[in-house]
Amino acid sequence: MATLAQRRRAPRNEKPLTERRLGRWLRIYIPILLFIFITLFPFYWMAITSIKSDQELLDHNQNPMFVIVPTLYHYQYLFFETHFTQWLANTTIVAVVSTAISLFCSLLSGYALARLRFRGANSIGWGIFVTYLVPPTLLFLPLALLIKTFHLFNNLFALILTYPTFLIPFCTWLLIGYFKSIPRELEESALVDGADRIQAMIRIVMPLALPGILSAGMFAFTLSWNEFLYALIFMGDTQSKTIPVGVVQELIRGDDFFWGQLMAAALLGSIPVALLYSFFVEYFVAGMTAGAVKG
Overall average pLDDT of the 229-248 stretch? 92
Question: What is the predicted pLDDT for the residue at 277?
Answer: 79
pLDDT of residue 290: 52
**Model confidence at 229: pLDDT above 80:** yes
pLDDT, residue 193, reads: 85
For the chain, give me the number of helices (H) and strands (E)? Answer: 16, 2
The per-residue pLDDT for range 95-104, each reduced to its tens digit, is 999 999 999 9
Give the mean pLDDT of the chain: 84
pLDDT band at 13 (very low <50, low <70, confident <90, very high): very low
Task: List, for residues 82-93, the tens digit of each pLDDT value.
Answer: 999 999 999 999
Residue 75 to residue 53: CA distance in whole angstroms: 11
CA distance 61 to 19: 44
Angle in degrees, 0-180, between the axes of helices 259-294 and 164-180, rounded to the nearest 10: 40
**What percent of the chain stands above pLDDT 70?**
89
| List of residues 6+ apart from 247 with CB closer than 8 A | 84, 87, 262, 265, 266, 269
Q: Does domain 76-294 have CATH number 1.10.3720.10?
A: yes
Q: Of 75 and 128, which is predicted with more confidence? A: 75
Sorted by where each begins, the domain ranges of the chain are 2-58, 76-294
Q: Per-residue pLDDT for 11 more than 70? A: no
Q: What is the pTM of this model?
A: 0.82
Give the rounded distance of the alpha carbon of 205 from its chain centre: 25
Segment 114-128, tens digit of pLDDT = 888 788 777 887 888
